[in-house]
Amino acid sequence: MNPGDQTSAAIRAAREEPTPEGWFTLSDDIMRRVRRIVRPSAPMIAFSADGSPAHGPRFSRVLVAGRVLIAVLRRHMERSALRPEGVELEVVDDRLVAVILTITGRYGDELLETADRARQETLSCVKEMLGDDPDFTASSIEVVVSDIVEPG
């Protein structure tokens, strides 16, 4: 039997195999997640030390991709023992106007304190990455606690 025959036999066998129950639901879920991963991200203006969107003597603009900020926020939250479930950015005219941070709380923790800590950590991280936008404050950050889990 040559390799071409083996391939043809394998293809026939795969086509004759019944589709597992729930496969299409799983397949749709996988594709939805893939699309979220590879979706283009909005560029956001990085501000200079004086709160201006212009940098240097030529007044150039520096833009940071949204997916870069999301990755940095996720890593920062994980190091801070906060459990990020999701990070969404709202960008208007290349300017970050809001962050929606979804986290998982721990049973027994004060959720308001956890949310406030997450908000302050997010604000610090955004300011470190994008500079000091005078219009982006702690009130620009919404924290959603999506679940409560046992410690450990």
Residue at 60: amino acid letter: S
- Boundaries of CATH 3.30.70.1350 in the chain? 41-149
Q: Identify whether the C-beta of residue 65 lies closer than 8 Å to the C-beta of residue 39.
A: no
Q: What gap in Å lies between CA 19 and CA 87, rounded to an integer?
A: 35
- How does the average pLDDT of the chain come out, rounded? 84
Q: Let me know if domain 41-149 sits in CATH 3.30.572.10.
A: no
- Give the tens place of pLDDT for each residue, 59-101: 888 889 998 999 999 998 888 778 788 899 999 999 999 999 9
What does pTM read for this prediction? 0.69
- Say which residue, 134 or 55, is predicted with more confidence: 134
pLDDT, tens only, 33-46:
766 665 568 899 99
- Determine the pLDDT at residue 40: 65
Contacts of 84 (CB under 8 A, 6+ apart): 73, 74, 77, 78, 101, 102, 103
pLDDT reading at 18 higher than 80: no
Q: In this model, does residue 140 exceed pLDDT 90?
A: yes
